[in-house]
Amino acid sequence: MGAADEMAGDEKPWGEVTPEAARRLLLAAVEAFAERGYHATTTRDIAGRAGMSPAALYIHYKTKEELLHRISRIGHDKALEILETAAGADGTAAERLTDAVRSFVRWHAGHHMTARVVQYELDALGDEHRAEIVELRRRSDAAVRRILNEGVAAGEFDVPDVPGTTLAVLSLCIDVARWFNAQGRRTPDEVGALYADLVLRMVGAQPPAK
């Protein structure tokens, strides 16, 4: 299963990346980084998977690290969009937390190859790029923390340690990318629903009636 296949439900995987040659290289990099790890992957590996010469890669990406940064930035922007949309939506804190976790987990399962690269190769980025991604992670943390704080204030949640619980919720969701198998028993939607239920129990809320 390749990086394009895992996003079969998307209209065009990585469609925001242009021109087409740059998109093909990015897809190839996602596959290579997910399978081999960033440090074990060479630019020749990436170019070969894309059906291009190593020289062609440098037309679009100056370095291997630039490719990783592009992948990481797009992935973290999507994750942040999911969480901030849920945090700012109407409804109770429990409803918003359910939507946040379900959508966040569904993305990590449905895009598990991409998500493994996005979430677990942060240390391979250079200092400037790492700082940029860390800021996006901080904003993701803030979105979940906002929901938890509002749930506590409304009496919906029983959470003595909001920062620690925020970390636990995000870690639980992100880890799905590490183990999810598209050939397994559960679909991304089913895993999302399961994790939303687990997180509501974690914060002392009653799951909504089905």
One-character DSSP codes across 31-100:
HHHHHH-TTT--HHHHHHHTTS-HHHHHHH-SSHHHHHHHHHHHHHHHHHHHHHHHHTSSS-HHHHHHHH
Separation of alpha carbons 151 and 86, rounded Å: 13
How big is the chain by its Cα radius of gyration, in Å?
18
Alpha-carbon torsion (74, 25, 115, 133), positive or negative: negative
Helix axis angle, 64-87 to 127-153, nearest 10°: 10
Q: Is the dihedral of CA 137, 25, 23, 104 positive or negative?
A: negative
Q: What number of CA atoms fall less than 13 Å from residue 33's CA on the CB side?
A: 30
User: pLDDT by residue (tens digit) across 191-209?
Assistant: 999 999 999 999 999 666 6
Instruction: Name the residue with tokens 């087409």.
Output: 20
Q: What is the pLDDT of residue 12?
A: 61
pLDDT of residue 8: 46
Predicted pLDDT at 208: 60
pLDDT in the model for residue 84: 97
Chunked mean pLDDT (size 10), the chain, 210 residues: 51 78 94 94 95 92 95 94 96 96 96 93 95 97 98 96 97 94 89 96 78
pLDDT of 108-139, one tens digit each?
999 999 999 999 999 999 999 999 999 999 99
Residue type, 175: D
Whole-number pLDDT of residue 10: 53
pTM flag (> 0.95): no
The separation between CA 58 and the C-alpha centre of its own chain, rounded to angstroms, equals: 27
